[in-house]
Structure 1
Amino acid sequence: MTRLFCQEHADILRLDAQVLQSRPGAVRLSQHPFYPGGGGQLPDRGIVRWQGGEVPVTGFSEEGGLVWVQLPDRIEITGSVQTEVDPVFRQCMRELHTDLHVLNALVFRDFDGALVTGVQMNDDGTARIDFDLPGADNDRLRALEPELNDVIAQDLAVQTHYVSITAAHGEQGLLRSRSVAPPPSAEGLVRIVEIAGLDRQACGGTHLASTGASRPVRILKIENKGRSNRRVRIGLQGL
């Protein structure tokens, strides 16, 4: 997949662009700020403005590594446009995704490198992450909440860089999912999200610039899902 603008500039929510290709209900743009979804993160919400008005974005599709922005009512747009991400929704996704990385780091450290088996972020400020943890003590998982919030309060920097797919497979802990990994870029590179002094792992989503930009987090529930799966549900406080 082509690198996304939002992966390097998650705080820039409005961009001017040119329509490169158009068909009823979809456009391919010279640039856009949207995250199209994936890795358990929901697709961005937003709008496209042009000389004839504005419409909400209804979704995204990928064709040949290129992202098409879906529009309602089979609208056709040409020329210059302005795109804008819903700021409240983007902030929620950035917080949840960064907080899940912190929780993942703590579980990976304390539970012998347990791998992730599933992730889902929700627009109500909650999320869940599943771990391969046969026989795990759920109380030990629940007891991670104070340290999770301590890491948030430390305001650790969050940065991204790229490594080759070979290097990603060669460094233990960079690939944390049991079954999937972020797709490499056209250059064969994998995006790494690093929380200073705490964690490094492959990820394609949008994140905060530092952990302190997140609200505190509650561990809402821990569930046993099958013989080896533990599901941890979290929620942003105040929502």
Structure 2
Amino acid sequence: MVDDTPPGSGVELFREDAQRRECSARIVTLDERGLRLDRTVFYPHGGGQAGDRGELELDDGRRLAIIDTRKGEQPGEIVHVPAPGQEPLWRALAPGTAVTARIDWARRHRHMRFHTATHLLCALVPHPVDGCSITADYARLDFHMTEPLDKDELSAGLARLVAQAHPVRQRWISDAELDANPGLVRSMSVQPPRGTGQVRLLEIVGVDLQPCGGTHVANTAEIGAVIVTKVEKKSAMTRRVVLGFAADIAR
């Protein structure tokens, strides 16, 4: 993959290219919480989606395993959390050290497939979302509603939208544009990421359009066979829908 982003640009590379698996970078700061890079492909935990795992490879071939990625205290700050037992290695590093940041792609791709599937689910269940979780093993959405949901009907609807191979696109709008169109926001519990003056919209062409800062596949066909594994009544006003991959359940 051609690395055409200038070093030191401070770019969150996953925002524009979720397919990117690695990048060159330099350490900016490090402390007991972890390491911060001048740019990264690692997605930090947020919006219900789990943070990436992977590794930072030094020029001499040594590798530092990253067990999690978290948002820092400052806007745009991303903290790469080293796996336990590596303190002698990472504490000896210094700002300016060059690394290759490489994500666990298999895990990230599952996040992307599940996250895109939750957008399809939003199209099938036209109610506000008041909770979500996207991991490599499952995804769930909590809908603010009282009506019952049918697991088989939802699975059939997901299969139809996946098979129709809808393109998945993104574009940016200003905070003011979002404020003028509050109906775009489906989530009650997680607000669109702000702070830069613009908000990213995720569009599944002909299916769904809403603000989202997560990572997604490029076409619904890439999701593969996903099914509803459970529908629960969590409260008088909440219905939980849990998704899984059919291949995992068949094992």
Q: Deviation string for 1:36-72 (max 9, x for gaps)?
A: 1111111111001113510111333413111122224
Secondary structure in structure 2 of the residue aligned to 1:43:
coil
Mapped to 1, the partners of 2:66 and 2:222 lie a distance apart of 27
Q: Is 1:137 aligned to 2:148, yes or no? A: yes
Match of 1:216 in 2: 225
- Specify the code of the residue in structure 2 equivalent to 1:35: Y
Mapped to 1, the partners of 2:160 and 2:24 lie a distance apart of 39
Mapped to 2, the partners of 1:146 and 1:28 lie a distance apart of 43
TM-score (norm 1): 0.89
Secondary structure in structure 2 of the residue aligned to 1:70:
strand
Alignment match of 1:32 (pick from 26, 40, 49): 40
Match of 1:63 in 2: 73
Q: Is the 8 A contact 1:61 1:70 kept in 2?
A: no
Moved more, 212-221 or 168-177: 168-177
- Specify the code of the residue in structure 1 equivalent to 2:228: I
Secondary structure in structure 1 of the residue aligned to 2:215:
coil
Moved more, 176-185 or 76-85: 176-185
Q: Is the 8 A contact 1:20 1:28 kept in 2?
A: yes
RMSD over aligned CA atoms reads: 1.8
Moved more, 143-152 or 168-177: 168-177
Q: Is the 8 A contact 1:221 1:233 kept in 2?
A: yes
Q: 1:142 to 1:172 in 2, by over 3 A?
A: farther
Match of 2:16 in 1: 8
Alignment match of 1:118 (pick from 118, 131, 134): 131
Q: Is 1:235 aligned to 2:244, yes or no? A: yes
Mapped to 2, the partners of 1:29 and 1:132 lie a distance apart of 39
Mapped to 1, the partners of 2:241 and 2:11 lie a distance apart of 30
Q: 1:225 to 1:10 in 2, by over 3 A?
A: same
TM-score (norm 2): 0.85
Moved more, 45-54 or 73-82: 73-82
Moved more, 22-31 or 35-44: 22-31
> Where in structure 1 are there 5+ consecutive unaligned residues?
109-113
Q: 1:219 to 1:17 in 2, by over 3 A?
A: same
Moved more, 16-25 or 154-163: 16-25
Mapped to 1, the partners of 2:122 and 2:58 lie a distance apart of 42
**Superposed displacement of residue 228, structure 1:** 0.8
> Where in structure 2 are there 5+ consecutive unaligned residues?
1-9
Q: Deviation string for 1:102-136 (max 9, x for gaps)?
A: 0111211xxxxx10011112322x211110112x0
Secondary structure in structure 2 of the residue aligned to 1:144:
helix
- Specify the code of the residue in structure 2 equivalent to 1:131: F
